[in-house]
Amino acid sequence: MRNLYIAALGVAAMTVTSIGTVFAAEDYGKYQVEDRRSGYTYAAKETQAIQDDNFENPAMLWVDDGSVLWEQAEGEVGKACASCHEDAADSMKMTGAEYPKHNPKLGKMQNLEQRINQCRTENMKAKPFKYESAEMLGMTTFVRHQSNGQAMSVKVDGEVAPFFKKGEAFYNQRRGQLDMSCKNCHGDNSGNMARANMLSEGQSNGFPTYRLKWQKPGSIHRRFRGCNKNIRAKPFGYGSEEYVNLELYVAWRGRGLPVETPAVRN
Ligand code: HEC
Ligand code: HEC
């Protein structure tokens, strides 16, 4: 039954062994760690070229906007991010590789967007940024860009373990009218075609990612929502606990891959 659905989505009938031979000879350099490959290695050469050149990568405009916001005092306290965190290249060097993190005060996981908003509301007495707003995309893209090249290294043990389990369960859970899980596409079928796209491993190391289709960067939660909608499943809310736990699990799947924000994909 599920094969029928995969066929309906246009996932090409290629055997796993044949994929193995196709890719066996390739050297993906820093974009591969053990058996894990960045979405970069599945992208078309032209798309890779846009990501490689900072002057051509359109998402660098968002990085620039984020750097301006970083210096801008806002809110009742009259402070900017830079007032406390100074040079982002130092203070945010590991941040992008380590989120989502467990927040003891909240008793749950917190992703980068939520940590930034905590600083805005508590430390600056400023309004939180809206998810997917130009400001939030600019700030998250800027902050995560500071971690470029660092190995993805979310903590998953100790107090994080129960949240990790939930993220993992979400990833493996079939859902939607097409009754498919994330794993069905990104675990079992990476390297196969789904309609016009080659399925990647669904890694998160390049987020926020500039999609040529969106003509702007988008958060990982926007991507999750798109993938959920494609299988006609109910998308969860931006910043929902379900998606933050899923984000944790997906980040762990890509452990060791370098942060490459802002990535470019089609
Ligand atoms: C008044 C001081 C102050 C201001 C202003 C401030 N922060 Fe923070 N921020 C903190 C403190 C304190 C922490 C917690 C430090 C820790 O956990 O080591 C923190 C933590 C963070 C973290 C988590 C870092 C990590 O690696 O875990 C991020 C990201 C962050 N802030 C971003 C921002 C951004 C973006 C702004 C501006 C919109 C901002 N902060 C404004 C004080 C501030
Ligand atoms: C029907 C197949 C399908 C399912 C199921 C699916 N996706 Fe995707 N997903 C895609 C396609 C197609 C793309 C774009 C090409 C690619 O990178 O695989 C994509 C892209 C992604 C990307 C971006 C990868 C990058 O390098 O930018 C992430 C992350 C992702 N998916 C996560 C998920 C998660 C998490 C789930 C489960 C909630 C999921 N996907 C379910 C088809 C699917």
Give CA–CA dist 53/3, Å, rounded: 40
Query: What DSSP state is assigned to residue 120?
Result: I
Number of alpha carbons in the 13 Å side-chain half-sphere of residue 196: 3
User: Any residues with CB less than 8 A from the CB of 231 and at least 6 apart, and which?
Assistant: 175, 176, 177, 178, 179, 180
* Whether the CB of 85 sits within 6 Å of ligand 1: yes
Helices (H) and strands (E) in the chain, counts: 13, 9
Residue 27 alpha carbon to ligand 2 centre in Å: 23
180 close to ligand 2 (CB < 6 Angstrom): yes
Q: What is the mean pLDDT of each run of 10 residues along the chain (266 residues)?
A: 48 44 72 97 96 96 98 98 98 98 97 98 98 98 98 98 98 97 97 92 98 97 98 97 98 98 97
CA–CA distance, 74 with 171 (Å, rounded to integer): 38
What is the value of pTM for the model shown?
0.94
Nearest to 116 by CA among 138, 97, 94, 147: 138
Q: Smallest Cα–Cα separation from 101: which of 247, 222, 237, 201?
A: 247
End-to-end CA separation in angstroms for the chain: 30
Q: What is the DSSP string of 184-239?
A: IIIITSTTSEETTEEP-----TT-SEEETTTTEEE-HHHHHHHHHHHTT-PPPPTT
Stretch (H or E) spanning 68: helix 60-71
Q: Delimit the domains of the chain by residue range.
A: 2-52+152-265, 60-145
Q: What is the pLDDT of residue 17?
A: 42
Residue closest to 100 by CA, chosen among 155, 20, 57, 24: 155
Tell me, in angstroms, the distance from the centre of ligand 2 to residue 203's CA. 8
Establish whether domains 2-52+152-265 and 60-145 are of one fold: yes
* Fold exhibited by the domain 60-145: Cytochrome Bc1 Complex; Chain D, domain 2 (1.10.760)
**Best of 170, 172, 223 for a ligand 2 pocket test (most atoms within 8 Å of beta carbon):** 223
Class of domain 2-52+152-265: mainly alpha
C-beta of 186 in contact with ligand 2 (< 6 A): yes
Q: Looking at residue 81, what is its pLDDT?
A: 98
Cα–chain center distance at 255: 12
pLDDT at 2: 47
